[in-house]
């Protein structure tokens, strides 16, 4: 029975998330006018030119046929169709245009938008909303800094009304913008003492890779400044620069002025590891390549296509389930309004209103000078969505996967598109990770697999 076999399939949502560590294709400075849309998939120079890492990356040659066959989406004219749909290009541009007249932003260029996302309508309203009904007024939630002060605002896209929510002085600092992160990798090089320190360590400045490490507040002298500690690595002879840290060297950087505030260099006696024979990439392993005959490509067949359908870009329907799926700069992926129809029932039953990964906290717990501040909050400081990388067809997601693009706002509010950042596909639930077996004494196999219950059509 067809419907029976569905029981054994699970839909999986995958987002390529990445740590704070992958720095290729960063959107950097936005174009000057409101109408140009940055499309990072076209390798626009806005997305690739400004980081030090790009030029060192090997070019990956794709397997033939590994192209994504989804219809190209016209983001410029996209409209929201569900109350929870993310802001569109038109809406981002409208937010930016409304705010450009606001008193906080109209008289200086000293501001940045650290987050521009949909302010979701009230849960009660969303729960009652049905397809075909008009959407609620679209409102953007904005976290911005202007002249050194953080603000949380809402912008009503229907009435142009801007509401500044400063109920109390805000403490802490918002998520870094991509521009903050990229410029932190360059800024130390404008300091002569920094250059001198690097050269003294025997590292060629052309081989240098510096990254903003975790944010934090470490004492009075850091008050009222947006400071970050930067750590540097040598990229000489390796793509894995993390294995070649310039240990004990910490640069305290002011993210607003891009000035080096302090250099702590306590690790001069610690050698930088050599990269000899450490490249793990197959393309670099000539001996392996000569000796191993590569196995043939694997394809997982779905002769009748995928079992899910996607309505209006964001609504995933699969078997007796449905949910709304959208990208988010901070959380990466947000699943909302997850509902299921019980097999003996008619109505869709609510299972989860909203779900996402709230944080990934990585405290290294090492009190030494170069390590005590390494207490990553990947979602809050860097943004899972901002750091995500495009998914590679047939490498990250199988055939028949559905790919979703993301549209986020850069630091000045200009929207940019990154393609294929989320994919949806079916997967067997009988894979090894799920399998549970009884002991051989019972002879019972406790393993659910469609292969044992479906007749495979030849």
Contact positions vs ligand NAG (CB under 6 A): 103, 106-107, 189-192, 195, 205
Concatenated DSSP letters for 323-347?
EEEEEETTTEEEEEEEEEE-TT-SS
Please, what is the minimum distance in Å from the beta carbon of residue 58 to ligand NAG? Answer: 23
Please, what is the minimum distance in Å from the beta carbon of residue 192 to ligand NAG? Answer: 4
Which three-class secondary structure state does DSSP give residue 211?
A: strand
Please, what is the minimum distance in Å from the beta carbon of residue 409 to ligand NAG? Answer: 22
Please, what is the minimum distance in Å from the beta carbon of residue 434 to ligand NAG? Answer: 52
C-beta of 101 vs 217, nearer to ligand NAG: 101
C-beta of 190 vs 289, nearer to ligand NAG: 190
Please, what is the minimum distance in Å from the beta carbon of residue 96 to ligand NAG? Answer: 16
Please, what is the minimum distance in Å from the beta carbon of residue 205 to ligand NAG? Answer: 4
CB-based contacts of 416, cutoff 8 Å, min separation 6 = 27, 30, 37, 38, 39, 40, 46, 47, 407, 408, 409, 410
What are 322's two structure tokens? 């449905």
C-beta of 262 vs 350, nearer to ligand NAG: 262
C-beta of 146 vs 386, nearer to ligand NAG: 146
C-beta of 198 vs 315, nearer to ligand NAG: 198
C-beta of 252 vs 338, nearer to ligand NAG: 252
Residue with the two structure tokens 């049905």: 130
Please, what is the minimum distance in Å from the beta carbon of residue 116 to ligand NAG? Answer: 20
Query: What is the rounded distance in angstroms from the CA atom of residue 105 to the CA atom of residue 31?
Result: 18
Query: What is the rounded distance in angstroms from the CA atom of residue 46 to the CA atom of residue 43?
Result: 8
Strand pairing class (162-164; 375-377): unpaired
Residue with the two structure tokens 């903003």: 212
Q: Please tell me the chain's helix, strand, coil percentages from 3-state DSSP, rounded to the nearest 5.
A: 20, 30, 50
Query: What is the rounded distance in angstroms from the CA atom of residue 15 to the CA atom of residue 279?
Result: 26
C-beta of 107 vs 277, nearer to ligand NAG: 107
Q: Rounded to whole angstroms, what are the CA distances from 15 to 1, 30, 298, 379?
A: 32, 25, 21, 14
């Amino acid at each position: 029975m067809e419907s029976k076999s569905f029981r054994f399939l699970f839909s999986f949502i995958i987002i390529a998330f990445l740590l704070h560590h992958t720095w290729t294709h960063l959107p950097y400075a936005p174009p000057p006018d409101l109408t140009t849309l940055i499309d990072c998939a076209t390798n626009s120079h806005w997305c690739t030119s400004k980081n030090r890492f790009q030029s060192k990356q090997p070019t990956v040659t794709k397997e033939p046929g590994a192209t994504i066959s989804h219809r190209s989406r016209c983001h410029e004219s996209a409209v929201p169709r569900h109350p929870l749909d993310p802001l569109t290009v038109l809406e981002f541009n409208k937010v930016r245009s409304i705010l450009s007249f606001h008193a906080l932003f109209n008289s200086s260029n000293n501001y940045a938008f650290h987050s521009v996302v949909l302010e979701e309508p009230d849960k009660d309203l969303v729960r009652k909303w049905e397809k075909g009904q008009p959407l609620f007024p679209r409102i953007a939630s904005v976290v911005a800094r202007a002249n050194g002060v953080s603000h949380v605002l809402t912008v009503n896209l229907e009435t142009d009304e801007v509401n500044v929510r400063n109920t109390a002085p805000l403490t802490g600092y918002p998520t870094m913008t991509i521009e903050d992160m990229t410029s932190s990798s360059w800024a130390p090089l404008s300091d002569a003492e920094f250059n001198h320190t690097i050269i003294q360590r025997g590292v060629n400045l052309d081989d240098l890779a510096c990254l903003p490490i975790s944010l934090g507040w470490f004492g009075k002298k850091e008050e009222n400044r947006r400071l970050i500690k930067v750590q540097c690595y040598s990229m000489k002879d390796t793509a894995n620069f993390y294995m070649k840290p310039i240990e004990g060297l910490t640069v305290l950087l002011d993210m607003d002025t891009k000035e080096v505030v302090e250099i702590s260099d306590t690790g001069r006696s610690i050698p930088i590891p050599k990269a000899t024979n450490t490249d793990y990439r197959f393309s670099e392993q000539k001996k392996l390549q000569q000796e191993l005959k590569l196995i043939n490509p694997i394809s997982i067949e779905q002769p009748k296509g995928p079992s899910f359908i996607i309505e209006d870009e964001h609504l995933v329907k699969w078997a007796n389930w449905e949910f709304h799926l959208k990208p988010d700069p901070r959380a990466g992926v947000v699943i909302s309004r997850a509902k299921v129809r019980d097999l003996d029932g008619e109505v869709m039953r609510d299972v989860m209103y909203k779900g996402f990964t709230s944080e990934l906290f990585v405290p290294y717990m090492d009190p030494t000078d170069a390590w005590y501040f390494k207490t990553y909050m990947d979602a809050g400081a860097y943004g899972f969505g901002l750091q995500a990388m495009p998914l590679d067809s047939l490498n990250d997601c199988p055939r028949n996967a559905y790919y979703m693009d993301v549209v986020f706002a850069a630091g000045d509010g200009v929207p940019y598109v990154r393609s294929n950042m989320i994919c949806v596909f079916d997967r067997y639930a009988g894979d090894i990770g799920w399998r549970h077996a009884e002991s051989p004494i019972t002879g019972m196999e406790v393993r659910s697999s469609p292969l044992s219950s479906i007749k495979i059509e030849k």
